[in-house]
C-alpha cells in the first residue's frame, strides 16, 4: 500500500509540474501573439513584473489545487486499500468459519428472523438436501408454521441461547434429537439471525438410561458399593454401604477416609494385604471386621478392585447372619453326629432285640408249643374237656405269639432294609395278593376292582409288604359282608397322584384315623378280628422310607379308604 501511495504522489508531482510549465508557455504565447506585448521568447524568459505576478499567482493556485487533489487522492486510496483489506479479511474469516462449521459433526444452519435458511453446513445438507432460502419448519418438518417449543423461536424472543431435546420416530426407530440455538446480533445489538445446531443424541440417551438403571441397581443392592479416590476417600457410596456401617445418611461419609470404618489393629492387618495385591495388579477379596458408627464391631466380606486412575471400587457385605448360621450349622452338625451315634446304638439294640425275637424268644416258645403238643398226644384219653381246652389255649397262644414275633421282625426289616428301587407294576402285585387271599375263602362273593397299568418307582419287596397289609386288612374287615368290594386305584390330588385301597368293611371313626398307624394300636379286639396291631405301622414305615405320605378315611359300617404316595420319579396311570 505504501509503495502505491508513493507512486501516486510521484505521478501527481509530474502532472503538476507539467501543468505549471504548460500554463507558463500558454500565457507567454498569449501575451506575445494575442496582446502583442513583445516576442514569445521575451515573454517566456523575461516577462514584465505585472505578468510575472499574474503567472506566479496562477502557479500558486495550481500548486494549492494540486496539493488538495493529492491529499484527497491519498485519502481515497487509503480508504480503498483499507476496504480491500477488510474485505479480504472478511473473506478469510468467512472461509475459516465455513471450514469450522463444515468440520462440525452436527448439522448447523443459520436462519434469519423469518426462519429462512441462510446457510447449511455439509451435515445439514446431507440430512434434507440443499434448503437454503426455504423456511426451516417447512424444509425439515413439513409444517406451515413454526414448530412448538422451537429453540430458534425462543432465541428470537428473548435474545438468549436455548436448548431442547425432542423424540422422533425415524424409519421406525425412536431417535432422541437435541437442538441448540444462539442469537446473531448486529452492531447495534439487535438480533438479526440465529445459528442452530442439531445432533442425534440417541446413543448418549441410551447410555444415560443404562447408567441410570445401573445406578438404580447399585442403590437397590443389598451389598454396600462404594467408589474411593486414590487417596482412599469416599467419592460415592450407595445407601446399603452407609447402613452396613450404621450411618443413616450417605452424606456423612462423603469425603471421609475408609480408615474411619476400621480399628487401628484391623487397618494394620488389612493395608499390607490390600496394597500388596494392588502392587501386583490384582484386586483383593477377603474377610475383615468393620467398625460401625456406634462403635460396635461386625464381620464382613470385602471385594476391592483397582481402577486405572488409582481409584478403588469397594463392595462390602455384612456376614453377621452368615456367621451366626454357620455357628448354628456347626451346632446342628454336632447334634446330628450325636444323634447318629445314638441312632447307631439304638440300631444295634434293635438288631440285638431282633435276634432275641428270632432266637431267644422263639426257642422257649417252641418248647412250650412242643410240650403242649406232646401233652395232647400222650394224655389225650386222660384229659377231660377242660384239659383239652387248656391245651388248645396253649396252642393258640403259641401261634399268636409266633405271628406277633414274625410281624415284629417284618417291621424291623422294613426299617433296616436298604432300598433298591425300580419301576414296579403295583396293579399286578395287587392281583397276585388278592389271588392268594381268595385261596383261603373260595366261597366269598368278591368285587375286585383294579385299575390297569399303575406303576411306581419303589422297592419291589417293600411294595409287596405294603399292599399285603392294606389288602389283607381290607379282606379281613369285609369277611362278615355278604358281598365284598375291594378297590385298588390311583387319583390326582393337589397336583400329585396318590394310590388308594378302598373297601366296604366295618370302617372306623374319623377320630381314630391317626392312631391306627401306631404299633400295637387296634380298634377291634383280636377275638373279633385276628391280628397283631403291627400291620398298619409297617405300612406307615414303608411309605415314610419312600418319602411319601399315608392317611386313612373311614365311617363305621361304610368301609375304609387308605391313601398313600410314593416319592421319586412320578408314577403314572
User: Residue 244 — very low, low, confident or very high, per pLDDT cuts 50/70/90?
Assistant: very high
Residue 480 included in any domain: yes
Residues counted in the chain: 573
Among the residue ranges 56-65, 90-99, 115-124, 524-533, the one predicted with the least confidence is 524-533
pLDDT at position 248 is: 92
Q: Are residues 423 and 542 both part of a single domain?
A: yes
Residues 195 and 249 in one domain: no
Q: pLDDT band for position 353 (50/70/90)?
A: low
Least confident of 31-45, 58-72, 187-201, 424-438: 31-45
Q: Tell me what pLDDT residue 406 has.
A: 63
Binned at pLDDT 50, 70 and 90, residue 527 comes out as very low
pLDDT at 351: 61
Residue 501 shares a structural domain with residue 550: yes
Q: What total number of domains does the chain contain?
A: 5
Query: What is the mean predicted confidence (pLDDT) over 507-524?
Result: 69
Given pLDDT bands bounded at 50, 70 and 90, which one contains residue 409? low
- Within-domain flag for 570: no
The reply to whether 216 falls in a domain is no
- pLDDT beyond 50 at 571: no
**Residue 447 sits in which domain range?**
417-564
The predicted pLDDT at position 573 comes to 36
Judged against a pLDDT cut of 90, whether residue 408 lies above it is answered with: no
In this structure, what is the dihedral angle of CA atoms 99, 101, 107, 108, given to the nearest 10 degrees? Answer: -130
Q: Is the pTM of this model over 0.85?
A: no
| Span 110-119, average pLDDT | 89
pLDDT at 523: 54
Q: Are 467 and 426 in contact (CB under 8 A)?
A: yes
428 and 536 both lie in a single domain: yes
pLDDT at 139 over 50: yes
User: What is the predicted pLDDT for the residue at 532?
Assistant: 56
Q: What is the pLDDT of residue 303?
A: 94
- Which of 140, 173, 207 is the C-terminal boundary of a domain? 207
Domain membership of residue 569 (yes or no) is no
Half-sphere exposure (Cβ direction) of 191: Cα atoms closer than 13 Å: 22
d(C-alpha 284, C-alpha 32), whole Å: 122
Average pLDDT rounded to a whole number, residues 190-215 = 87
Grid coordinates of 38: 513583445
Does residue 217 belong to any structural domain of this protein? Answer: no
Q: Examine the domain organization and report whether 27 and 82 are in the same domain.
A: yes
Q: Give the mean pLDDT of the chain.
A: 81
pLDDT tens digits, 4-18: 556 666 766 677 677
Residue 214 included in any domain: no
Residue 331 has pLDDT above 50, yes or no: yes
Q: Which residue has the higher pLDDT, 408 or 287?
A: 287
Q: State residue 252's pLDDT score.
A: 92
The SS3 assignment for 519 reads coil
Cell of 565: 404316595
At residue 18, φ and ψ (nearest 5 deg) are -65, -40
Indicate whether 159 and 292 sit together in one domain.
Answer: no
Average pLDDT over residues 553-568: 85
CB 558 within 8 A of CB 567: no
pLDDT (average), residues 398-405: 64
More confident residue, 360 or 554: 554
Compute the average pLDDT of residues 452-461.
86
Residues 332 and 432 in one domain: no
Residue 460 has a pLDDT of: 87
Report whether pLDDT(382) > 90: no
Q: What are the helix (H) ranges across 221-260?
A: 239-244
Where residue 293 falls among pLDDT bands split at 50, 70, 90? very high
Backbone angles phi, psi at 420, to 5 degrees: -130, 90
In a domain, 155, yes or no: yes
Q: Are residues 385 and 430 in the same domain?
A: no
Residue 537 and residue 444 share a domain: yes
**Do 553 and 431 sit in the same domain of this protein?**
yes
Nearest residue to 316 via CA among 267, 264, 244 = 244
Q: Could you give the angle at the alpha carbon of 487 between the alpha carbons of 483 and 491, nearest 5°?
A: 150
The answer to whether residue 212 is domain-embedded is no
> Taking phi first (over 0 means left), then psi (-120 to 50 degrees means alpha), and beta for anything else, what does residue 501 get?
beta
Amino acid at each position: 500500500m505504501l509503495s502505491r501511495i508513493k507512486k501516486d504522489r510521484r505521478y501527481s508531482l509530474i502532472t503538476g509540474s507539467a501543468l505549471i510549465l504548460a500554463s507558463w508557455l500558454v500565457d507567454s504565447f498569449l501575451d506575445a501573439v494575442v496582446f502583442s506585448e513583445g516576442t514569445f521568447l521575451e515573454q517566456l524568459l523575461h516577462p514584465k513584473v505585472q505578468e510575472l505576478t499574474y503567472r506566479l499567482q496562477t502557479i500558486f493556485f495550481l500548486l494549492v489545487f494540486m496539493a488538495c487533489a493529492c491529499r484527497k487522492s491519498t485519502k481515497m486510496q487509503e480508504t480503498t486499500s483499507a476496504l480491500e483489506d477488510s474485505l479480504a479479511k472478511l473473506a478469510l474469516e468467512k472461509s475459516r468459519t465455513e471450514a469450522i462449521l463444515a468440520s462440525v459433526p452436527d448439522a448447523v444452519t443459520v436462519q434469519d428472523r423469518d426462519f429462512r435458511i441462510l446457510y447449511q453446513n455439509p451435515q445439514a445438507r446431507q440430512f434434507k438436501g440443499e434448503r437454503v432460502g426455504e423456511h426451516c419448519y417447512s424444509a425439515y418438518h413439513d409444517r406451515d408454521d413454526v414448530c412448538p417449543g422451537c429453540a430458534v423461536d425462543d432465541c428470537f424472543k428473548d435474545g438468549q441461547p436455548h436448548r431442547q431435546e425432542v423424540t422422533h420416530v425415524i424409519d421406525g426407530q425412536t431417535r432422541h434429537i437435541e437442538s441448540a440455538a444462539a442469537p446473531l446480533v448486529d452492531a447495534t445489538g439487535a438480533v438479526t439471525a440465529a445459528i442452530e445446531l442439531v445432533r442425534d443424541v440417541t446413543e448418549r440417551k441410551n447410555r444415560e438410561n443404562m447408567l441410570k438403571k445401573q445406578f438404580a441397581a447399585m442403590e437397590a443392592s443389598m451389598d454396600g458399593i462404594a467408589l474411593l479416590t486414590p487417596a482412599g476417600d469416599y467419592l460415592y457410596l450407595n445407601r446399603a454401604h452407609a447402613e452396613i456401617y450404621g450411618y443413616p445418611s450417605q452424606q456423612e461419609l462423603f469425603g471421609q477416609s475408609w480408615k474411619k470404618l476400621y480399628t487401628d489393629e484391623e487397618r494394620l492387618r488389612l493395608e499390607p494385604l490390600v496394597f500388596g495385591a494392588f502392587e501386583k495388579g490384582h484386586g483383593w477379596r477377603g474377610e475383615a471386621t468393620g467398625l460401625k458408627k456406634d462403635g460396635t464391631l461386625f464381620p464382613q466380606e470385602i471385594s476391592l478392585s483397582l481402577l486405572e486412575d488409582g481409584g478403588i471400587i469397594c463392595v462390602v457385605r455384612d456376614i453377621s447372619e452368615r456367621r451366626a448360621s454357620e455357628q448354628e450349622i456347626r451346632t446342628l452338625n454336632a447334634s446330628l453326629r450325636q444323634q447318629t451315634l445314638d441312632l447307631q446304638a439304638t440300631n444295634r439294640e434293635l438288631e440285638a432285640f431282633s435276634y432275641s425275637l428270632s432266637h431267644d424268644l422263639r426257642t422257649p416258645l417252641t418248647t412250650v408249643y412242643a410240650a403242649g403238643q406232646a401233652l395232647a398226644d400222650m394224655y389225650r384219653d386222660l384229659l377231660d374237656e377242660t384239659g383239652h381246652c387248656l391245651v388248645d389255649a396253649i396252642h393258640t397262644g403259641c401261634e399268636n405269639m409266633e405271628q406277633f414275633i414274625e410281624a415284629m421282625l417284618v417291621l424291623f426289616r422294613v426299617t433296616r432294609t436298604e432300598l433298591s428301587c425300580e419301576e414296579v407294576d403295583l396293579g399286578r402285585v395287587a392281583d397276585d395278593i388278592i389271588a392268594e387271599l381268595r385261596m383261603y375263602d373260595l366261597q366269598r362273593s368278591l368285587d375286585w376292582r383294579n385299575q390297569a397299568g399303575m406303576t411306581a418307582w419303589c422297592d419291589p419287596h417293600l411294595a409287596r409288604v405294603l399292599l399285603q397289609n392294606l389288602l389283607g386288612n381290607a379282606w379281613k374287615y369285609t369277611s362278615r359282608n355278604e358281598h365284598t368290594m375291594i378297590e385298588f386305584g390311583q387319583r390326582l390330588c393337589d397336583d400329585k397322584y396318590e394310590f388308594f385301597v378302598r373297601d366296604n368293611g366295618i370302617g372306623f371313626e374319623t377320630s381314630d384315623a391317626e392312631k391306627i398307624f401306631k404299633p400295637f394300636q387296634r380298634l377291634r379286639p383280636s377275638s373279633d378280628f385276628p391280628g397283631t396291631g403291627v400291620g398298619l405301622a409297617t405300612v406307615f414305615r414303608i411309605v415314610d422310607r419312600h418319602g411319601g405320605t399315608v392317611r386313612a378315611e373311614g365311617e363305621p359300617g361304610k368301609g375304609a379308604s387308605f391313601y398313600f404316595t410314593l416319592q421319586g420319579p412320578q408314577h403314572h396311570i
